[in-house]
Structure 1
Amino acid sequence: MPSLKELRGRITGVKSTRKITNAMKMVAASKLRRAQIRAEAARPYAETSKRMMGELASTVQGADVSSLPRLMVGTGKDQTHLLIVMTSDRGLAGGFNANLVRKTRQYISELQEQGKTVKLLPVGRKGAEVLARYYPEAIVETMTSDGGQGASFEQAISIASHVVKLLDQGEIDCCTLLRNRFVNAMTQVPEQFKLVPLPASEEQAQGSASGEAHYEFEPNEETLLAQLLPRNLEVQLFAALLESAAGEHAARMTAMDNASRNASKAIDSLSLKYNRTRQANITNELIEIISGAEAV
Structure 2
Amino acid sequence: MATLREIRRRIAGVKSTEKITKAMKMVAAAKLRRAQRALLAARPYSNKMFEMVQRLLEGLDVTENPFFKERQLTNVAIVVITADRGFCGAFNSNIIKHTIERVTTQYADFHDGKHIKLITIGRRGSDFFARQDIEIYARHPNIFGNLTFANAKQIAGEIINGYLEGEFDRVEVIYNQFRSVLRQEIVVDQLLPIPGRSVTSSEKIKIQKEFIFEPDKETILESLLPSHIEQRIWRMLLESSTSEEGARMTAMDNASENASELIDTLSLQYNKARQAAITKELLEVVAGADALKAST
TM over 0.5: yes
Structure 2 residues not aligned, in runs of 5+: none
* Residue number in structure 1 paired with 2:291: 295
Letter in 2 for 1:87: T
So what's the TM-score if we normalise by structure 2? 0.87
Which of 104, 107, 123 in structure 1 is aligned with 2:99? Answer: 104
| Whole-angstrom distance in 1 between the partners of 2:73 and 2:221 | 22
CA deviation after TM superposition for structure 1 residue 36, in Å: 0.6
CA deviation after TM superposition for structure 1 residue 55, in Å: 5.2
* Residue number in structure 1 paired with 2:156: 160
CA contact (8 A) 1:57 1:199 kept: no
- Residue 94, structure 1, aligned to residue 92, structure 2: no
* Residue number in structure 2 paired with 1:267: 263
Q: How many residues align?
A: 287
Which of 185, 199, 204 in structure 2 is aligned with 1:203? Answer: 199
* Residue number in structure 1 paired with 2:240: 244
* Residue number in structure 2 paired with 1:119: 117
Q: Deviations over 1:4-40 (max 9, x none)?
A: 1111110000000000000111111111112111101
CA deviation after TM superposition for structure 1 residue 59, in Å: 5.0
- Residue 143, structure 1, aligned to residue 140, structure 2: yes
Larger Rg belongs to: 2
Structure 1 residues 102, 51: closer, same or farther in 2, change over 3 A?
Answer: farther
- CA RMSD in angstroms comes to 2.6
Q: Deviations over 1:40-83 (max 9, x none)?
A: 121122122224334555755673x3xx2x33336x22221111
CA contact (8 A) 1:87 1:244 kept: yes
Q: Deviations over 1:155-183 (max 9, x none)?
A: 00110111122123311111111111111
- Match of 1:71, SS state, is coil
CA deviation after TM superposition for structure 1 residue 285, in Å: 1.5
CA contact (8 A) 2:116 2:134 kept: no
Letter in 2 for 1:138: E
The percentage of counterpart residues that share the same residue type is 40
Q: Deviations over 1:212-261 (max 9, x none)?
A: 97997533455423421110110000011111111111111111111100
| Whole-angstrom distance in 1 between the partners of 2:129 and 2:19 | 33
* Residue number in structure 2 paired with 1:78: 73
**After TM superposition, where is structure 1 displaced by more than 6 Å over at least 4 residues in a row?**
205-208, 212-216
> Higher mean Cα deviation, 254-263 or 106-115?
106-115
- Residue 231, structure 1, aligned to residue 227, structure 2: yes
* Residue number in structure 2 paired with 1:192: 188
Letter in 1 for 2:31: K
CA contact (8 A) 2:68 2:196 kept: no
CA contact (8 A) 1:86 1:124 kept: yes
> Higher mean Cα deviation, 4-13 or 46-55?
46-55
* Residue number in structure 1 paired with 2:8: 8
| Whole-angstrom distance in 2 between the partners of 1:122 and 1:191 | 16
Structure 1 residues not aligned, in runs of 5+: none
CA contact (8 A) 1:87 1:125 kept: yes
> Higher mean Cα deviation, 286-295 or 181-190?
286-295
CA contact (8 A) 1:81 1:174 kept: yes
| Whole-angstrom distance in 2 between the partners of 1:206 and 1:87 | 41
CA deviation after TM superposition for structure 1 residue 283, in Å: 1.2
| Whole-angstrom distance in 2 between the partners of 1:98 and 1:146 | 19
| Whole-angstrom distance in 2 between the partners of 1:112 and 1:221 | 36
